Chains A and B, each alone.
Chain A
Amino acid sequence: MIRNDVFKTLIPLISEHLVVCNIGAPSQELHALDDRASNFYMLGTMGLASSIGLGLAAAQDKPVIAIDGDGSVLTNLGTLATIGNNAQGNFTLLIIDNGSYGSTGDQPTYAGMNTDLAAVAKACGAETVLTVSAEDTAKAVEDAIASDQMTIIVSKCESGNVKVPVIKTNPIVIRERFMEEVRR
């Protein structure tokens, strides 16, 4: 299974929740599959989906799912220490770990080599960290949303993208409609 296949299994579980999605292919694929006001798409900055998700979870009570990638977490590795020291029970961080920089031509990441992001997350102080197969990801996310424990899920899937258009929605529209969902 590639990322897009994992997304298909996730959509019935996350579509009613606040989702912060990683830049590039992940946001574009989620947007093409199931564009929702409750999705916040990162259009510009790499590596900050987990930080935005944590800030959002800390500021309000609704469940928040941040969908990040292994490459993006590596670019902002300090985020795991901040998350590990500021656990929010309504926060789920899903790291789609396909061992590659999907948006830039599938170059390999260190997470696909010697680096174990789940072990890093644990060492950073996060209590509930799971490594799951692509097939088992939806169940893990469902359980994480239902629990009041902050959960970090590293989903091991295959490298690969599907061809989808770039997101043309105005960023202010993305933010405003997302904030309306937060307030709802």
Chain B
Amino acid sequence: MADLSPKMRRGIGLLLILTALGLAAMLVLSALRDHVVFFYGPTDIQAKAKQGQIVRLGGLVVDDSIQKDQDGIRFQVTDQTTSIEVRYSGILPDLFREGQGVITEGRLDGDIFQADTVLAKHDETYMPAEVADLLKDQGVWKGQE
């Protein structure tokens, strides 16, 4: 193989590089198509999300809405226009509070959102960017711009 001309070798090298890039692009595109998770507020989610599709739901946790029973936890999430019931069987993150912003990931099951994860934040005053935008869209944002 040592006798290949420089031109040939460059050609083979280029071919290898293009193959690798093509392979990577294919992987990325197919992974993006299958694994992107959309984010919705309580108002949008019923209209836009398909039943059973993995999506994220964000909003404010309604005051006094947390209920615990044998199956786990239930709470209401609102964008101040619509509320939706969320069910979750895991452990709530440390910074989960009533009246504060929350993002959950899971699927719509009828009128109920079945959450697999409730995302935690480092900072107790932090409002998830998506939730802040959502509240601005609904015209109920009270924080600073």
Are A and B co-members of a single complex? no
